[in-house]
Amino acid sequence: MTILIGQKAPLFEVPAVMPDGDVTDNFNFESTIKNKYAVLFFYPLDFTFVCPSEILAMSNRTEKLRELGCEVVGVSVDSHWTHHAWRGTEIDQGGIGAVPFVLAADISREVSQAYGVLAVASESYYPQGVSMRATFIIDQVGIVRHQVVNDEPIGRNMDDVVRVVEALQFFEEYGQVCPAGWNKGSDGMVNTPEGVASYLSKNAERL
């Protein structure tokens, strides 16, 4: 796996299904996230098991992320037509419904390779591999500030995606770092020995 923290996020142009349901052959990631924060999250496959729960969880938090100036883009190795079919399938039939963010089609697997998250699939009918369950948070100048990868059977906590975006913005605004368990409204920490001592004297028992 590639560690991209502090590096420019790889840019790409691929087919995708847009938030309004339109299908495009040339979704441009660079223009979509220009001067914005972005959440780029990869998942293994459409019409599977853990994946729809994660996508619906992200769907339920997309409005909040947009309020934070953050675009959301999902990626798997499925085609844009498979994305479209899954999006058009009712939730009680195993679909995801009209999710409010882009579903990008990494058919060539070049995007997953660029982000270092292409894994060999257990299913023999995907010998070229599938995307891992990975999340990247990108800042307004296109730098990767957070990345996390879960093993296939372990779903992600999408509340933590929101929390990390808020923590990044808190740091950018106030210059204070965000200690363990930081949530919006919590104290930050001045990153000096005195700042650490002051923070821990008030908060150590709650950590």
Looking at the chain, list the stretches that DSSP marks H as alpha helix, in order from N- to C-terminal side: 29-33, 50-59, 62-67, 80-87, 110-114, 158-174, 193-203
How far is Cα 173 from Cα 169, in angstroms, rounded to an integer?
A: 6
User: CA torsion, points 120, 126, 130, 133, in degrees to nearest 10?
Assistant: -90
Residue 128 corresponds to which tokens in the numbers above? Answer: 């070229």
Candidates 51, 111, 134, 165; catalytic one: 51
Nearest to 40 by CA among 153, 117, 155: 117
- Return the sign of the alpha-carbon dihedral for residues 154, 44, 20, 68: positive
Is 178 among the residues known to form the active site?
no
The dihedrals phi and psi of 169, each to the nearest 5 degrees, come to -70, -35
Pairing of β 102-105 and β 118-119: unpaired
How many helices (H) and strands (E) the chain has is answered by 7, 9
Cα(56)–Cα(62) distance, rounded to whole angstroms?
A: 10
**Which are the catalytic amino acids?**
51
